[in-house]
Amino acid sequence: MTTSRKLAAELIGTTFLLCTVVGSGIMAERLATGNTAIALLGNTLPTGAILVVLIVLFGPVSGAHFNPAVTIAFLVRREIGFSLALAFIVFQIAGGLIGTWSAHLMFEENVLQVSAKLRTGPAQWLAEVIATFGLLMSILGALRWRPDFVPYSVGLYITAAYWFTASTSFANPAVTLARSFTDTFSGIMPQHMPAFILAQIAGALAAVVVFGWLFKNDGT
């Protein structure tokens, strides 16, 4: 697979991921008429569903990372080179921004926004460590035991993690950055973004260590 096709897959996939996260958040909040639980459910289900679709479609092309934390994890595992990993991250960030702005256009929101939504504190940071650790668990475990199940493992995990983490499981630096540019249901204040991203990377690196050991192919 050529590099250009891999980068296109990461760009398009991350675009549709953020279009879904932000767009479904806007739609859900409008239809929920103040019921936050219903709005969160309306945000959760489309996100889990689109992940299954995107990984099925783009997994054979680029590996369907759509997430700098995943790319960094595979870089540490020496399954992707540094230059390609860096390019993946650039295209993931670009796709995230394009997806966010596309959602704004579709719902007649101001295209350029900055979020004012508070998401900070030790509980939120711990939630992002756990959310990203679990995401890598769902990827590495499925790759080890059921490679054909990776799309469903990831989609179902994120659907669950929206609800069992205090942060609603961003678990993705590109998603976090893009969501700082939407002052809608799914947003996060830019000032709170760096701590989330650091927590996500920490969770991903911890997962590489733990599951690199636990899922090791030792011939047994």
Is 219 among the domain residues?
no
Residue 109 placed within a domain? yes
Residue 186, pLDDT score: 97
Confidence band for 219, pLDDT divided at 50, 70 and 90:
low
What are the two backbone dihedrals, phi and then psi, of residue 209, each rounded to the nearest 5 degrees? -70, -50
Count of domains observed in the chain? 1
Q: What is the DSSP string of 104-146?
A: HHHTT--SS--------SHHHHHHHHHHHHHHHHHHHHHHHH-
* Joined tokens for residue 125: 């940071």
When pLDDT is averaged across residues 140-168 and rounded to a whole number, the result is 98
Q: Does 143 reside within a domain?
A: yes
User: Do the domain assignments include residue 91?
Assistant: yes
**Residue 197, token pair as written in the block:** 């991203």
- CATH number of the domain residue 38 falls in: 1.20.1080.10
Residue 42 lies in a domain: yes
Structural domain that includes position 202 = 3-214
pLDDT tens-digit map of 157-182: 999 999 999 999 999 999 999 999 99
**What is the pLDDT, as a whole number, of residue 18?**
98
d(CA 183, CA 26): 10
Evaluate if residue 102 carries a pLDDT over 70. Answer: yes
CB 46 within 8 A of CB 36: no
Given this model, what pLDDT does residue 218 score? 75
All residues at 6 or more sequence positions from 149 whose CB lies less than 8 Å from its CB, including other chains: 142
User: How many other C-beta atoms lie within 10 A of the C-beta of residue 63?
Assistant: 22
- Summarised one tens digit per residue, pLDDT across range 3-25 is 999 999 999 999 999 999 999 99
- The reply to whether 128 falls in a domain is yes
Percent of the chain topping pLDDT 70 = 99
Cα angle 60-198-101, degrees, rounded to a multiple of 5? 60
pLDDT tens for 56-68 read 999 999 999 999 9
In a domain, residue 220? The reply is no
pTM score of the predicted model: 0.96
